[in-house]
Chains A and B, each alone.
Chain A
Amino acid sequence: MTVAALASQPPTKYQRQLWIEGLLAVAILIVAWIYGFLATRSPIEPLVSNVLPGVQSVRADGEIFTGLDAQGRVVGHAAAADATGYGGPVYLLVGVDTAGDILGIQVVEQRETPGFYALLRDRRFLQGFLGRPAASPFVLGEDVDVISGATLTAGAVAEAIRLAARKIEVGALVRTVPPIRFGFPEIALVSLFAAAIMLTRVRGPRRSIFRWVIMLVSMLLLGFWLNQPLTLANFASLLVGYWPTWQDHLYWYVLLGGVTAMIMVTGKNTYCYTICPFAGVQECFGKLGDAKPFLPVGGYRRLRRVTRWLAVLALALGLAFRQPGAASFEPFGTLFSFSAGFFPWMLLVFVLFASLIILRPFCHYLCPVGAILDFMLFLRNQGKRLWKRTKAAPAG
């Protein structure tokens, strides 16, 4: 049968169901997004006296707040700024005294992934900024300590403080452009994508070996070393509009862009098959227990629907509450950073135990990232099918 003939076939019942589910999911996500958008940000002015102790009255001049004491003397200035970390933004109010030193910092809102933010709190990261000159560069790894395991979160806090301090310094909004960072994480990610594309052209017994090499390297680099696999938080951040500055978050853009491009160009979900570090962990457990794929006819589609709706639910919550980081329920962070609460650990244990018997149980029955990528693949294939049908119509 020719491609044109295949394209002219009507969609199957299952495909129609997927279309209906997809449209319903998009409608739910739009409603959640609007709800989240309408939730207003807290006013800053009442908080100024917190970061400038002794202030009796506050004078607002655009984004700069000047704190005055009972005699009307200037105590200091305050400004707020936000920056996006791994799962969401941190929004800070910074107070600077008349000598130009940081007097106080208030976390106005933070929507970062809970585990990463908790690491900063444990290391007393924010306290380290107090008393320092507001004109300091506040660059991670230079004059600000790197927090291992929460690098992006620490970077976001430093950036927010730097932006707020610059606002005060120049008296107007100046968003300094950070230097472009293209380091080893980005190189490793691009290399993994390139290797995964090359794998699609390898045939024979070498294919399996090559795939295992990519998977193990990805498991060590993207998983245990960087702890930055593709998660639902990435998609939620994208939809909410929490886009980090591209110059120092190239990894984020390469990851999302690379995965999308691979699906659109190759028509295959190469990320899940080859690159996902958690899939690699499951396959390692599968080797230990001689696990077999178990995809029962009929039952698989029914269970897969559960996966899709879990992904929609988590995404909708992330959009409605503007907390992309909290939407990420995958046990990736639990495994790769060894830090989580009781229930994420329980979920991880359940998944890893099942991986000894069933090949990739999380991928097949629970993973929200896989569900989203499969939906993107479905849209791509349906679009291609429609295009072929349109092209074939005049000939018929």
Chain B
Amino acid sequence: METHQGRPGRLTAQRALEVYVAICTVLVLIVLYGAFARPDQGVVAGELYVRTGVSAGAGE
């Protein structure tokens, strides 16, 4: 049970926690964007390796 004295402090702590979660959520969204927007993820005809040498990049 919260006391009257502890309540303002608790509310401030709760607000700080909410800000912390919001920042982390933004970071998670950026991480997700970065992962799904990577050009080398699921790209059709990606890297090509042939015996005579190595060439990176799209095929035809």
Chain A residues with CB under 8 Å of chain B are 42, 46-47, 49-51, 53, 95, 101-111, 114, 117, 121, 126-127, 129-131, 294, 296, 299, 303, 306, 310, 313-314, 317, 321-323, 326-329, 341, 343-344, 346-347, 350-351, 354, 358, 361, 365-366
Contacts and interface: CB of A to CB of B under 8 A. Distances in A.
Contact of B38 (A306, A326, A354, A366): A326
A50 B60 contact: yes
B21 A366 contact: yes
Contacts of A354: 20
A106 B60 CA distance: 12
Given A50-B60, A53-B52, A347-B24, A109 B43 contact: yes
Contacts of A303: 17-18, 21
A313 B21 contact: no
B44 A42 contact: yes
Interface string B22-35: 01110110111011
A47 to B, nearest CB: 5
Contact of B51 (A103, A106, A294, A323): A103
Contact of A321 (B13, B34, B42, B59): B42
26 contacts: A42-B44, A47-B60, A49-B60, A50-B59, A50-B60, A102-B51, A103-B50, A105-B48, A106-B46, A109-B42, A109-B43, A114-B40, A126-B47, A130-B49, A296-B13, A296-B17, A299-B18, A303-B17, A306-B21, A310-B25, A310-B28, A323-B41, A326-B32, A329-B32, A329-B35, A365-B17
Contacts of B24: 347, 350-351, 365-366
B28 A299 contact: no
B51 A107 contact: no
A106 B49 contact: yes
Contacts, number: 134
Contacts of B45: 42, 47, 50, 106, 108
A34 B51 CA distance: 39
A322 B42 contact: yes
Contacts of A111: 41-42
B31 A365 contact: no
Contact of A131 (B21, B23, B51): B51
Nearest to A340: B31
Residue among B31, B35, B36 having the largest count of chain A Cβ atoms under 10 Å: B35
Contacts of B51: 101-104, 130-131
B28 A329 contact: yes
A143 B36 CA distance: 34
